[in-house]
Structure 1
Amino acid sequence: MPRPFQYDPQGLLTHADVTSLQGLKDKTLLVSSSGQATWWPWLKAQYQLSDAQVRPYTFNIQPFVVDDAVAQQAYVSSEVFQVQKAGVKANFFLFSEHGYPPYGGILIARRIPLPSVKRRWRSLSAPQWRVG
C-alpha cells in the first residue's frame, strides 16, 4: 500500500548533549497521547525508559526551548526547523533509523481510481521513491 513518505518523518528531538537515544534515561520526554499509543511502548522497551519520564506533548516547542532536561517528539520537517530558528542546538533521532517500523500515514484511494489522477500520482511520486 502506498504511503505519502518513503520513511515516517517522526522521531525524538533532544538537546545537543544527548548524542544517542541511550542518553534519555534522565530526561523528561514530551509525548502526545497518540505517541503513547504507538511508538512510546517500543521506545520505552528498546531503551529501558519509564512511564514516569513522560509528560504531555502540547505541540509547542517552548517547553523544549527553555528546559535542557526535556526531549520531545518531533517531525523532521517541523519542530527541528522551529528550534533551529529559536537558536537552540539540538539533535534529532528518526525512529525509522533506530528500528521502529512505522506504518502511519498510509495513503488510501478508491478501488477504481480515475485514470488521469492515477497517472499523475504515479508520475509525481515514483521519482521520490528511488533510494541511492
Structure 2
Amino acid sequence: MRIFSFTMVLLLIISLCSCSSPVTETAGDQKVTLALNWLPEAEHGGFYAALLNGDYKKEGLEVEILPGGPDSPVIQRVATGRVDFGISNADRILLGRAQQAPVVGVFAPLQHSPRCIVVHKSSGIESFDQLKNVTLAMSDAPAFSHYLREKLPLEGVKIVRSTGSLSQFLQDPAFAQQGYVFSEPIVAQKQGIETNSLLLSELGFDPYSSVLIVSEKTLSEQPELVEKFVRASMAGWKTYLENSDTVHEYIQTINPEMPRDVLDGGMEALRKLCRNADGEFTGEMDPERWKTLSSQMEELKLIETGLYKKAYVNLSGPSE
C-alpha cells in the first residue's frame, strides 16, 4: 500500500521539492539532487540520516531530496539529467536500460527485496505453494508479477489490479495483496489483522532494492561526485541502522501521515534485508546476483541477453 492519498501526494510533492539539508550550508558546496521512488519512509532512512548528520556536507555536497509518488519516473529523470541521483530497484534498472535509459546502480543498501505477497494468517497460507483459492491484488507491471505468474500454478487464484489500498484486504480473509514487508503487514497489524508475508526472494526473485542510481554520463564525467555521494550515503545508512529515532522524527515532519509505529516497524523489517550473507552492511552488489536476475528477466522476454553487465558498478568490491 505504501500509505498515501492522491491529495497527500500532491501536497507533499509541493512541500518537499525544496527539502534540502537542515545542516548549515557553506558557500561552495556542490548542489546535488536525489529523487526518491516514493514518499519519504523507512526505505529512505539512510539517505535522510546522511542529510541530517551532515555526512553529505562533510563531502562538500548540498543535497536536495525530492519526493516520489505513484509511478514516479525516477529512471527517466536520472537518465535525462533532470536529477543527479535516484532510487530504484535492480529489475527496473534493467528494464530502463532495455528502453535506452543509460542508468547505473552504484550502491545497494537493501541487499534483499522487501516485496512480498501479504495474506491473512487465518488463511493458513505460509508458503507460495499454498497460495491457492484467493483473490490476489497485484500489479501487472514487470518484472515481479510476470515472474510470479510464470513460476506458480496459482490454482483458484483470481488476480485483480492492485489499487494500493488495503481496504479490501482488511475486510476479506480470502484476499491477498502485493506489498512490502516494511509497510502493508505493519499497517494491517495496526488494524488488528494478523498476516503472513511471502517474500518474493523466497521464490528466487531477489533484485537489489532501493538502489542508488546515476546516469552513465555523470558517472563518467564526475566520478569523484559519485564516490562522495556513495561514501556519505553509506555513512548515513550505518547510522540509521544503529539508531533511527532522529530520522523518523524528521520524516514525520515532512510526511505527517506516516505513523511513527509504521516507520519503527518498517525499520526493523528492513534491518534484516540490509545485511549480506556474512551479516555485514556493505551496500555492495554481487555480479552473480545481477547475472541471475538478468537471466530470469531474459527468460520472461523482458530484456536482451547480457544487459546487466553495464547496469551496475561497485565503487569498492567485485564487479564483472
Same fold by TM-score, threshold 0.5 exceeded? yes
> Which of 16, 21, 25 is the matching residue for 2:128?
21
Give the 5 Å matches for 1:43-82.
43-49=148-154, 53-82=158-187
Pairing 1:119–2:231 present? yes
Matched to 2:190, the amino acid is K
User: Secondary structure of the residue that 1:108 maps to in structure 2?
Assistant: strand
1:104: how far off? 5.3
User: Secondary structure of the residue that 1:107 maps to in structure 2?
Assistant: strand
Mark the CA change 1:105 to 1:120 in structure 2 (over 3 Å): closer, same or farther: closer
Q: Which has the higher contact order (CA 8 A, sep 6+)?
A: 1
User: Secondary structure of the residue that 1:68 maps to in structure 2?
Assistant: coil
How many angstroms apart in 2 are the aligned matches of 1:41 and 1:118? 32
Pairing 1:33–2:140 present? yes
Question: Counterpart in 1 of 2:111?
Answer: 6
The answer to whether the 8 Å contact 1:11/1:92 transfers is: yes
Mark the CA change 1:85 to 1:52 in structure 2 (over 3 Å): closer, same or farther: closer
Range that drifts further, 108-117 or 68-77: 108-117
Question: Counterpart in 1 of 2:65?
Answer: none
Choose 1 or 2 for highest CA Rg.
2
The answer to whether the 8 Å contact 1:27/1:70 transfers is: yes
Q: CA offsets per residue over residues 15-40 of structure 1, 9 Å max, x none?
A: 11212212222111100232xx2112
The answer to whether the 8 Å contact 1:44/1:50 transfers is: no
1:50: how far off? 6.5
Ranges in structure 1 where 5+ consecutive residues have no aligned partner = none
Range that drifts further, 119-128 or 91-100: 119-128
Ranges in structure 2 where 5+ consecutive residues have no aligned partner = 1-104, 242-273, 280-320
User: Secondary structure of the residue that 1:124 maps to in structure 2?
Assistant: helix
Range that drifts further, 96-105 or 74-83: 96-105
Q: In proportion to residue count, which structure has more helix?
A: 2
Q: CA offsets per residue over residues 42-90 of structure 1, 9 Å max, x none?
A: 2122221269711011111111011111101010011111100010111
How many angstroms apart in 1 are the aligned matches of 2:174 and 2:119? 9
Matched to 1:49, the amino acid is L
The share of aligned pairs that are identical, in percent, is 29
